[in-house]
Structure 1
Amino acid sequence: MAEANDELGGVDVLFNNAGIGEMQGFAETDPDHVDRLIDVNVKGVWNGCHAVFPIMDEQGGGSIVNTSSMAGWLPSNITTYGMTKATVLHFTESVAPELGEYGIRVNAICPELIDTQMIRTWFSDEMRDQAPMRTAFNRWGEPEEVAACVAFLASDDASYVTGRPIKVDAGYV
């Protein structure tokens, strides 16, 4: 963050989008995998926010967008992944009022059924054909549709939005 700040003359937006997933239930998840999920999905978000805070504080504000998932809202058979994404939601909602005092907005996006490489490895062809039927649009979402939501939350158009998880799920939940 310090290098980006020095090179770019500030950091206006942090998009905490790094994450890993799993398509396995609680019984199949071993402690090493749990540690890795927590390190990337939870600590990665916390570390990013913590690193950018002094920069955004010094410049008088900014916008942080954290990536959660609909798995953070909805219990499913990907228990440990869902736990990490629910933690991101709770952290976002908890830290937003605190950082708001410094002019920093903190929001989260919660994608579901987005056509990404990670999802393609999780879903069989049959599952990929059936899954969109649970959305209002009967199709998979595109990464660009998630990016547009992030761009809105990062922009001045969302200047009065903080502490909000935005579902990017075509009405799935």
Structure 2
Amino acid sequence: MKEVVVLAHNIRSTHNIGSIFRTCEGLGVKKIFCSGYTPFPTFQGDKRLPHIADKLTRQIAKTSLGAEKIVPFLAIQDITEIINKLKKDGFDIIALEQTPNSVILPKLKTNPNQKIALLLGEEVHGITQNLLKECDYSIEIPMFGQKESFNVSVATGIALYKIICDS
């Protein structure tokens, strides 16, 4: 099975991140990296004020339903630093973002031994251009309705399912 990690950068909603945790647990994602202002559950050695950490953890748990206790995660300050480390460790960095050169998800081809880090961006504005430059490529989910995109947690589930089940 592929080694897949998720980079959740600037996800503002605790409900979205909770849903992402639950989806990652169900699909066997190895780790979630929470960066920028992405909320994250309480952990041993958490330096946040306890009442704030507990409040965020309770909100995340509403949609993660316990997955926040199962999926390993790391709260990081510098997303570029972790991207560079993952690249050195042999990961392909894939942005989930609509770009002029993005691969349409049904055409994505991966191999069983591939190591993939899926980069997610902010709900409204997506992934910044400077972060897109750090990625090996981007993928996008084709839309058939009138809306231009899916909710980030829904898009994450669709993309991860294709990435993990593709061989």
TM-score normalized with structure 2 length: 0.30
Greater gyration radius = 1
Structure with more contact order per residue of length (Cα contacts < 8 Å, sep ≥ 6): 2
* TM-score, length basis structure 1: 0.30
